[in-house]
Amino acid sequence: RAVSGVYPPGSVFKLGKAIEGLEEEKLEESTTVRDEGVLDVGEYSYANWYYTQYGRVEGDINVVRSIARSNDIFFYKTAEWVGPIKLGEYASLFGYGQKTGIELYGESAGLVPTPTWKEQNIGEKWFLGNTFHMGIGQGDVLVSPLQVASATQAFAHHGARCEPRILEESATESTCSELSMSEENISLVVEG
């Protein structure tokens, strides 16, 4: 399951969305989003889990607190500001939608949906709701647990993503690549 199973990542995906918003200068440390429980867009409503489960809201919330609280409203808006194309590009940078190269058979690549993918495979255009769902790791996004671990370790390594290895003799061959992200932005995500 760690390499072959693919699942919607949920809130762990928000770490990437936070760094994307910061790197694309759609967010800064002081940027706040008002969480009133539900974000209404036309006839559609997108709720925050805290409101759905407890009837509570966060009010004005910034990037660090939004990570700590896993605030859906903040990440809906971040995803909207970054846009689906950039969301997909950054997801790929973190290794989502591709095999990690670990020395195990049956590894799945998962899926990072794009507007083109949706049109070709589902026959529908991409909607803002798709962007919102992608922003919180839901919808059509599918990742393996190993991909989540690999992407998360990039924050622990201050922006260097390393290929996972399990065999001792290949560990020396493990390659790391710098994600070329601001240390300040990485620190904000880690703080969250």
**Catalytic residue IDs:** 11
d(CA 35, CA 39): 8
The β-bridge relationship of strands 44-47 and 176-178 is unpaired
Please list, in sequence order, all residues whose beta carbon lies within 8 angstroms of the beta carbon of residue 172, skipping any fewer than 6 positions away. Answer: none
Interatomic CA distance for residues 108 and 131, integer angstroms: 23
CA distance linking residue 77 with residue 147, whole number of Å: 25
